[in-house]
Structure formats: structure tokens, C-alpha cells
Structure 1
Amino acid sequence: MNAINDGRYMLLLWRAIGMLMNPPGPTPDTLTHLRGVVRPALDCARLVLSEENRHTAGVGIDYALDADQGLNVAAALDHARFTVGPQASELLERSSARARDSYGNIVYPADELGFDNGADNTEWDQNIFSVFTLFLGAGIPSFEQDYTFAGFLFTDSNACRVYIRSTRSRLTYGIDLPLVRPDGGPFKGYAYLPSELAPLVRTGDIDSHRVEGAEDEYCTAVADLRAWLGPAKPVQP
């Protein structure tokens, strides 16, 4: 069980790192920031949010790693961002008598703040962030002998064009990834995409998916892989 919890914790830590980046433009002092991700016990992960960028006393949210079916990392991150984040200042003000950790953070069990481990994430940003980190990999990605990740550009609110460069031909392809399912939920069919693209590029079969007449100054050709990716079906609970 400890090894399983270790994996869940590392996944939470890996995905939460993206929350450290502020959006472009001026950042209000009142914006809630991620102060840290720590592990107070083998079966618990704690996300700490601070109400300003000085990273002083904040709100710690404890998530059970060994919850039923394991911690739903996507649900935990959305809960921290969209449920706890907007009320971090209020929680600090009304909770002065609660226990604090050694860094002055007030600690709450996630359930007390309305966390639902069975909830589906409502935004697509976690999914596209995850596939980008898979494309970049740790060390040398297993698919680098076939292609490398060459960039991305959001083409509208529902699609992102990913650019990959063939290692052999040195040609760059643009591939459109859907962000939203027909029912409005986030598309989630990317878990194995980086490795699945490798044989398509290696064999040259990606050229059979070229979109004739499509122009893009950032790539040699645009490949339509919508049928290859499969229909964007809702995820079954």
C-alpha cells in the first residue's frame, strides 16, 4: 500500500507544480498562490495555499492517499484551485483557533471543505498539461528516436495544435487535439498519445493523414488524426 500511495503522491506533486506559474500580465496581490505540496503522513498529501505571493501562513488541505479507489488527483487539484482557492482568505480569518503546522498554516481535512473524491475534473487544462509533460518526458523520452515535441498553439477554445518533428525526415507536423467532449466536459484521451504517435511517425503513415490545402507557417503539414484518436466520448464513472 505504501508503494501505491507513493505513486499517488508523486502524481499529485508532478501535476501541482504547474500551479506555480502565474498567468501573463500583472498579478494581483490578492491572488491565491500555491505555497507547497508536502506529505505529513504516509497516507496523506497536503496542498498549501497562500493568499498572497509572500508565501506566509496559508491554508493546508489534507487529502487521503488511500481513499476508496485511491486519491483522485485531478479532482483534488480542481478542489484546491476552484473551491478552496477563492475562499482561502476567509478560511484564514475565521479559523484562527484551529491547529497549525510548524509553518503557521491552518490545516483542514479536504472532506471538511467539500472535497468529493469521485468528482470529474471540469476543466481541460490538467489534461493538456499532463500530455505536454509526457511529450517532454524525464531524461530522454522513449519516442525521441522517432520524433520530438516541437511546440503547441491553441487554435480556438476547443482545440490545441501540437507540433511534432520527425527525427528521420526532419519534417514538422501539426496535429489538432480536441480539448472538449461533445457533452462539454474535458477530453481525456491522451494518456498514451506520445507513445502511440511513435509508430505512426516511424512508418511514415502519418503522411496518409495529411490535410490537403491546410496552411500553417509553423509546420510542414497538418495531420488530421481525429478518426485515429477515436470519438471524444464522455468518461464513464
Structure 2
Amino acid sequence: MDEHLFGFLLRRIAPLVVAPVGSLPPAGFQLRGVVRAGHTRARVVFSPDARRESGIGYEFTLTEDGVDAAIDWLRITVSAGVTPTGGVVDSHGNTVGDAAEHGFRPTGLNRTDDHNVFSLLSTLIHGGGSPWFEDEYTCAGFMLGPSGACRVYVRVAATGEVYGLQLPMEEADGTNVSGKAGSLPSVLGSLIDNGTLLTLPVVDTADDYCRIVYDLGDWI
């Protein structure tokens, strides 16, 4: 799977990370993570509740025409509470099954227009085009965890290595972190460029989706 196709999946499915209209904290499934699973496949994981201590997910071999079909299939399958069978358990406690073995086909769904509506609004609000930092790094996915933790994966363009970045979403007193991540893209570019990233405190060395995870809490 090339960078363009994985980026397309991320942009299309990102809105599902927001809690739906209803009670808070939400009671239904929420998007927990989107990650690469090798060069040609991706995994999408949902958590059954707001604690995000575990999740259920499906692995896809995506094509250009299959991204929207995959998202619609996931919304139908996950909301029905279907648990993957014969899957694997990853380092985050997610049970992940093969989407094709559970009935996914890359065409024939795409029953709603909300993907296109979001794409239109996103372009009008944020502008189109590629991120300015893609010559330095690209986003290789994310995985939300309990206790307000957010793990973001980045692929360094110069080396192809994927690293995890642990970002706190809550302050020590339990309040939400807000308004501190706006400068993260430029800060991260500097950390990669001058080698400081590799000197940060290590959080995890056994994450299935990256080489090593660094603590970025002091930088946002």
C-alpha cells in the first residue's frame, strides 16, 4: 500500500473518531485506531466503549476504489457487534480479523454521501493539496488508549522507519489537553531533522506497528 492510498484512508475515516450525537461519554463503538499492517494492508480498530482498553478490528488489502466501501462495511459490521473470529490479538489488546474472510468486498457498498460531504467541507475549510511536511515525514496511523493516551505513528521519509509518539490527551488533574498541538507538525519536523526525536524518553519497544515509541508529552 503506497503512502497516497493509506493517507486517503486516514482522511476518509478520521471523522469517526468524534463521538456521535448523544450522551457523553458515548455508549457505542468508537474509532480507536487506523494503522498499517505491512506494505499492502491496513487495520481499522473500534473500541466498544469510551474506556478504549481494547478493541475489535479488521485488516484490509485496500484499493483506490475500495476505501469508501471499507468504511461503510465497517460501520455496518461493527455497529452490529460482530466480533472477528479466527483473528489475532495485537500489542494493544485488539482482536483483529481478516475483512475478506468476514464478507468484505471492495465494491458494492458506498451507500451514503457523507464521505463526499466531509471531503468537500474539509477542502473548503483546510484547503487541498499535500501536507507541507510530507518531505520530512508522513502520518502512519494512530491508536487511542486508556487514560487519555493517544499514540500517533509517523514514517520518516529519509529512512522509511516508523516511530510511535505518545501524546497525552489529559492533564494530570484529568482535564482535557487543549490548544497545545497546533505547532506539533513543525516541532516534529525539527525533532526529526536534528535527531532529537531519537533521544526522547522511550515509552514502548513492543508495539506491533512501529520500531519504538517515544514520549512527546513535553513538546505539546
TM-score of the superposed pair, with normalisation by structure 2: 0.53
The 1:114–1:28 alpha-carbon spacing in structure 2 relative to 1, beyond 3 Å, is farther
The aligned residue for residue 12 of structure 2 is: 15
Letter in 2 for 1:23: P
Please tell me whether the aligned partners of residues 72 and 109 of structure 2 are also in contact (alpha carbons under 8 angstroms): no
* Alignment root-mean-square deviation, CA: 2.5
The aligned residue for residue 220 of structure 1 is: none
5+ residue gaps, structure 1: 142-237
Number of residue pairs matched by the alignment: 130
Task: Specify which of 28, 31, 34 is matched with residue 31 of structure 1.
Answer: 28
1:44 aligns with 2:33: no
Secondary structure at 1:34 match in 2:
strand
Distance in 1, Cα, partners of 2:111 & 2:21: 23
1:90-105 equivalences under 5 Å are: 91=83, 95=85, 98-105=87-94
Task: Specify which of 51, 55, 77 is matched with residue 83 of structure 1.
Answer: 77
Please tell me whether the aligned partners of residues 64 and 71 of structure 1 are also in contact (alpha carbons under 8 angstroms): no
The aligned residue for residue 121 of structure 1 is: 110
TM-score of the superposed pair, with normalisation by structure 1: 0.49
Please tell me whether the aligned partners of residues 32 and 51 of structure 1 are also in contact (alpha carbons under 8 angstroms): yes
Q: CA deviation at 1:36?
A: 0.4
Q: Percent identity?
A: 32
Distance in 2, Cα, partners of 1:140 & 1:61: 29
The aligned residue for residue 149 of structure 2 is: none
Please tell me whether the aligned partners of residues 44 and 63 of structure 1 are also in contact (alpha carbons under 8 angstroms): yes
Letter in 1 for 2:78: V
Please tell me whether the aligned partners of residues 25 and 50 of structure 2 are also in contact (alpha carbons under 8 angstroms): no
The aligned residue for residue 68 of structure 2 is: 74
Determine which structure has greater relative contact order: mean sequence separation of CA pairs < 8 Å that are 6+ residues apart, divided by chain length: 2
Distance in 1, Cα, partners of 2:77 & 2:104: 8
Please tell me whether the aligned partners of residues 20 and 26 of structure 2 are also in contact (alpha carbons under 8 angstroms): no
5+ residue gaps, structure 2: 131-220
Secondary structure at 2:45 match in 1:
strand
Distance in 2, Cα, partners of 1:105 & 1:28: 21
- Runs of 4+ aligned structure 1 residues displaced above 2 Å come to 27-30, 137-141
